[in-house]
Structure formats: structure tokens, C-alpha cells
Amino acid sequence: MSWGITDRIAGFLARAARILVFLFMVGPLFFVLLMSINPQVGVFPPHAISATWYQFLLSRSDFRDGLTVSLLLGLSVTLMAVVIGTLCAFPLARVRFMGRNVLTVIFLSPLIVPEIASAVALLNFFVLIGVISNRFESLLIGLTIIAVPYVIRVVTGSLVGFDRSLEESSLNLGASWAQTTMKITLPLIRPSLLAGALFAFQASFTNVTISIFLSSADVTPLPVVLFSWMRFSFNPSLAAISTLLMVFTTGLIFTLEKLLGLDKLVGVTSGFSPSI
Amino acid sequence: METILNDKRAGTRQLLPLFPSVLLIVFVFGSALAYMLSTAFFEYRPPYVVAEFTLENFQHFFSTSLYLGTLYVTLRVAAVSSLLCLVMGYPIAYGLARSKSRFERSVLFTGVLITLFVGIIERIYAWILLLDDNGIINGFLTYLGLGRVHLMYNELGIVIVSTHYLLPFAVFTLMGSIGSVGSSLEEMALGLGASRIRVFVDITLPLTLPGIMSSVLLTFSLGVSAWAIPMMMGGGLVWMLSNMVYDRVVSTGNMPFGSAIALVIMLVSISSTLLLTALFSRKIKVE
């Protein structure tokens, strides 16, 4: 196959497009990193390097409070989502029953309903039933609803391709059902459980929309604090915390890739819709 | 043991683990959505919400130019962003599906995953640094002796950041489609002497049309419900429907009208998803 001149130009253009789009995707994020170590606001490129904004960040009490709330919330949501999601993944993957497909769609619906609608609906409902006065609990329920579908997706996926002969042998050898689950089944799907937990944590820890609707002045998760910095005072320590969050995200991606493998990760993430 | 492993008929005991998720998602989330649906038909007599059936909220929405205009802006921003995602996502998806270099694929993949996972705060902050009137791009333009350009606090800014947010979804959808077409047909046509461009236009493009439609519909359905992006990039000058919801609910406490707008957003977004499902019967399923 010899390449004609037009083909060469087309090939070159396709490659150029790929590079440009790649730069569009990750390029802007590098400027955040640069700005976070730039002591002079509005000076670009930076003339000096310093950790000023990182120190400033730590000195803010609203940041420390927000981080505490978000970590507590994120860990509680993760725990609840993993337990609830894993429990429900077993019947979904292993038992044939009427309405299973419909129920699956319903369980994944928090990812399909626009988040602004979920946020308004939950606020409205929590006011109605009186839960709203407990802000932490409201946030916990709201964010768990968003996080559970990820765990269901990941864990059901690993159970569908599960070789059940090991479980059978264990039961044949006299182990109880509980022993088999704890010693055989759960350890075998551990990578998926961990991946589900990471998804759940990420979904709650970075959630903006639902967090803003359900939070109050006393209970303010980190994304809400940062969002109000961005809206009302363009605080340069935003660059510092953004950099830290991006480092966390990158670590998360590599861990997920290790746990699930690339193909499966893409399969799961195509249904991932973080808040906008 | 027999009943646990081999009996696939549903016993109540086997379905018991579904209970917590049914409680959380069917009961709590379902009730919340149902209650929002009914609230959209309630009356608002400031400062009270009165549970009396009325169509007033929807009539008001569809007869006021402010809201119709906002609906139009919302549809336009989502449509432009999803088309941009298609145009920009295709080369990346093609590279991911076809590139022979493992290195290139893993670099592209990492880029797409980072773009997908990066939080909304970091994303918006990064773009403000670039697009602001005193931002990096305008600083560079001034340095070159060119004038400043308004890149944010308008629809352009919202479109740019929405495209950045939606791009990974387009890439994954297109990649699946290009991958499933396989490269053998293309290679055959090349072997028979067709040019690269003809192979792309006559074979790859038509065969990936379902993927193209899916990509546009998916990104559109996600794009119409954007809230934080238009709030920051529109800077109060350009509004999308979600921003109206927040304003009505939080500033004035008009839950019925806020619910009505949220329902309109849901309707647009979900009908786009349903169209997608109907067109390609690509059921939403677990793996």
C-alpha cells in the first residue's frame, strides 16, 4: 500500500487533531499546578516558587472543617454503599426472578436522573419528613443514593463471570454457607469491592450539587466550601487544594486500573457521571 | 446446599439482600422524585406551599419569555457542546481503537480518564485561570499586542467547559463503536486500492453512525442538566435552566416552580436517553 499525498496530509491532520484535543483535555490542569506554587497572584509565568498557598490553605478554619466533614461523610457513605450495593449485587447476578431487569434499571437510575432534579427532590422530601434538621444524616442518605449504583455495577460485573466451582467444593467439604461467603466468595471479589469503595468515595467526596442543596452553615462539606470560595472570593489557595485533589484523582485512577484492568474500568466508567 | 447453588427459582430468602437497596432507592429516592412531581403541581402563595392542584407553574414557564429563552439557551449550549464533543472525541476514539502503538493508547487513555475523573471544582478553576479577562490566554494575547477577548461570562465559556466535561463520555461511546466495526473491512478496501480518505468516508464513518448518534444523544442528555458550570462560567449573565431551579428554590423558596423547572430538565434529558435506547435498543444494563 503506497500512501498518496492526500492520504499523507489526512494522516497528518488526524494526528494533529489527536494531539490538540489531548492538550485541550489535560493542558488546562497543568496551569492549576503552576499557579499553586506561584506566590504572586496574576503573574504568569511564575517568577518564583513557594508553598504560600498551601500554608494559607491549612490556616483556614473553614477549609479544615469542610475537610473533616467531607472525610467523615465520604467514609460513612463508602461503608454504607459497599454494604448495601454488595448485598444487592448477589441476587441481581445469581437469582432469576421476575422484574430483575426493571429493578436493575431502577437501582442505576440515580445515575440517569439529572443531579439537579435529584437534589431538589431530596431536599423537598427531607423537609417533608423532617430529616432535614439533621444535616449530616441528610447528606449521608443523599450521597449514598448517588454512590450505591457504582458499587452495584462493579460488584455485579465481577459476580457474573464468577467461577462457582470453588464455592461448591467448599460447601461439599462441610463448610457452612457463612464460612464459604467469608472465606471464599468475598476474598475472590475483593478487587471489585475495593474498586466499588473507591468509586463510592469519589462520588461523595467530590459531589457539589447535592451537597449544596442539603448542606447548611453548620455542616458544610469541602466541595461546598471550595465552591463558595470560587463564587465570592477568588482565593488563590484554590489552586493549592485543586492540585492536591488532582493528585488524589490521579492516584485513584491508577489504583482502579490495577484493581479492575483497563477494559473493565472503561466499562464501569462509561456510566460514571460526576456532578456538573 | 442444593437450594443455594442450583435452585435458580426465587426464594424469599434469596431476595432478602435486595431489601436495603430497595428501601434506599425505590422507597426514599422514588418517593422523593414522586413528591417532587406532585409539588410541581402545587400552588405557591408566598411564603407557603399550598397542596392544591394547579397547572399554573407550567403555564407560567411556557408563557414567559424569560423561561423560554433560558430553555433555548440550555438546549443550544447542550447541542453545541455535544457536537463539539463528537468532532473532538472522534480522533481520540479512533486513536484508542486503532492505534498500533501501545504507548500512544495508554497515554490517550490516561488523558481521557483524568478528564473524566477530575472534580468539577478543579475543572472550573483551571478554565477560569485560562479564560478570565485577566487570565493566561488574554495575558498572552496582550503580550503579543493583540486585544483582549471575552472568553467567559458568556455562552462561549459555558460551552468550552461543558465540552471539557462531556468529552470522555463521547470518546468512550465512539471508541466502543469504532472498535466493534473492526479493522478488517478497512484493510480490505485499502488492499483493493482505495485511498485512506475514501475508506474513512465510505466505510468507517457510515458504520459508526450508531456510535455517533449515541455519543451526541448521551452528551446532550448530560449537558442539559449542567448546573455548576453555567453558574461559574456564565457568571450570572448567562443562565441555564438548572440555575433557575437553584435560584427559585434557594433564594425565594418557591419549591413548586423550582420542581416544575426541574421536571422540564428531566423530561428533556430523559427523552434524549430514551431516544437513544429506542434507536439502538442498547439497554441500560449491568455489564
Chain B residues whose CB is inside 8 A of the A266 CB are 109, 172, 175
Residue from the list B228, B283, B286 with its beta carbon closest to the beta carbon of A156:
B286
Residue from the list A29, A209, A227 with its beta carbon closest to the beta carbon of B118:
A29
What's the full length of chain B, in residues? 287
pLDDT for residue A270: 63
Query: Does A112 sit within 8 Å of B270, measured CB to CB?
Result: yes
pLDDT in tens, chain A (276 residues): 456 788 888 888 889 999 999 999 999 999 999 888 888 776 777 777 888 888 888 888 899 999 999 999 999 999 999 999 999 999 998 888 888 888 988 998 998 899 999 999 999 999 999 888 888 999 999 999 999 999 998 898 888 878 888 888 888 898 888 888 888 888 888 888 999 999 999 999 999 999 999 998 889 999 999 999 988 877 788 999 999 999 999 999 899 888 888 777 777 766 555 444
Query: Does A42 sit within 8 Å of B134, measured CB to CB?
Result: yes
B182 close contact with A: CB closer than 8 A: no
Chain A residues whose CB is inside 8 A of the B14 CB are 91, 94-95
| Nearest residue in B to A112, CA atom | B270
pLDDT for residue A271: 55
pLDDT for residue A51: 84
| Cα–Cα dist A250/A256, whole Å | 10
B222 close contact with A: CB closer than 8 A: yes
> Could you say which DSSP state residue A183 is in?
I
Chain B residues whose CB is inside 8 A of the A107 CB are 21, 25
Query: Does B286 sit within 8 Å of A157, measured CB to CB?
Result: yes
Report CA torsion sign: A90, A92, A95, A98.
Answer: positive
| Cα–Cα dist A59/B130, whole Å | 27
Interface of B with A in 131-170 (CB under 8 A): 134, 136, 139, 162, 164-165, 167-169
pLDDT for residue B268: 93
Phi, psi angle pair for A112, to nearest 5°: -95, -40
Query: Does B172 sit within 8 Å of A96, measured CB to CB?
Result: no
pLDDT digits (tens, 9 = 90+) for B231-261: 999 988 999 999 999 999 988 889 999 999 9
Contacts of A211 (CB under 8 A, 6+ apart): A139, A143, A221, A223, A224
Give me the torsion for CA of B103, B104, B110, B112, rounded to 10°.
-160
Helix (H, G, I), strand (E, B) or coil at A191: helix
pLDDT for residue A144: 97
Question: First CA to last CA across chain A, in angstroms?
Answer: 47
Angle at A33 between CA A29 and CA A37, to 5 degrees: 160
Q: Which of A84-88, B185-189, B276-280 shows the lowest per-residue confidence on average (mean pLDDT)?
A: B276-280
**Whether residue B287 has pLDDT greater than 50:** no
Residue from the list B8, B28, B122 with its beta carbon closest to the beta carbon of A145:
B28
Query: Does A245 sit within 8 Å of B128, measured CB to CB?
Result: no
Q: Which one, of B246, B244, B242, B243, lies nearest residue B265 by Cα?
A: B242
**Whether residue B127 has pLDDT greater than 80:** yes
Query: Does B9 sit within 8 Å of A120, measured CB to CB?
Result: no
Query: Does A141 sit within 8 Å of B121, measured CB to CB?
Result: no
Query: Does A24 sit within 8 Å of B225, measured CB to CB?
Result: no
The ranges assigned to domains in chain A are: 54-267
Chain A residues whose CB is inside 8 A of the B139 CB are 44
Query: Does A106 sit within 8 Å of B17, measured CB to CB?
Result: no
Query: Does B118 sit within 8 Å of A273, measured CB to CB?
Result: no
| Cα–Cα dist A233/A230, whole Å | 6
**Whether residue B8 has pLDDT greater than 70:** no
Check: CB of residue B134 under 8 Å from CB of residue A42: yes
| Nearest residue in A to B9, CA atom | A96
Query: If pLDDT is split at 50, 70 and 90, which confidence band does B66 have?
Result: very high
Mean pLDDT value of segment B110-119: 90
Residue from the list B28, B164, B195 with its beta carbon closest to the beta carbon of A141:
B28
Query: Does B21 sit within 8 Å of A148, measured CB to CB?
Result: yes
- Tell me the sheet residues that pair with B43: B50
Check: CB of residue A88 under 8 Å from CB of residue B20: yes
pTM: 0.89
Beta strands in chain A (DSSP E): none
B92 close contact with A: CB closer than 8 A: yes
Higher pLDDT, B48 or A220: A220
pLDDT for residue A45: 79
Query: Does B287 sit within 8 Å of A267, measured CB to CB?
Result: yes
Query: Does A116 sit within 8 Å of B245, measured CB to CB?
Result: yes
Query: Does A250 sit within 8 Å of B284, measured CB to CB?
Result: no
pLDDT for residue B284: 42
Check: CB of residue B223 under 8 Å from CB of residue B82: yes
| Nearest residue in B to A156, CA atom | B286
> Could you say which DSSP state residue A2 is in?
P
| Cα–Cα dist B226/B245, whole Å | 11
Query: If pLDDT is split at 50, 70 and 90, which confidence band does B6 have?
Result: very low
Q: Which CATH class is domain A54-267?
A: mainly alpha
Interface of B with A in 202-221 (CB under 8 A): none
Query: Does B228 sit within 8 Å of A227, measured CB to CB?
Result: yes
- Mutation target to probe the B interface, by most B beta carbons within 10 A, among A111, A124, A143, A181 is A124
Check: CB of residue A44 under 8 Å from CB of residue B139: yes
| Cα–Cα dist A270/B284, whole Å | 11
pLDDT digits (tens, 9 = 90+) for B150-169: 999 999 999 999 999 999 99
**Whether residue B57 has pLDDT greater than 50:** yes
Beta carbons within 10 angstroms of residue B56's beta carbon: 16
Residue from the list A91, A164, A239 with its beta carbon closest to the beta carbon of B125:
A239
Element (H, E) at A48: none
Percent of chain B residues topping a pLDDT of 90:
53
Check: CB of residue A241 under 8 Å from CB of residue A227: no
ipTM of the complex: 0.89
pLDDT for residue B256: 94
Check: CB of residue B254 under 8 Å from CB of residue B44: yes
In angstroms, what separates the C-alpha of A42 from chain B's closest C-alpha? 8
pLDDT for residue A218: 87
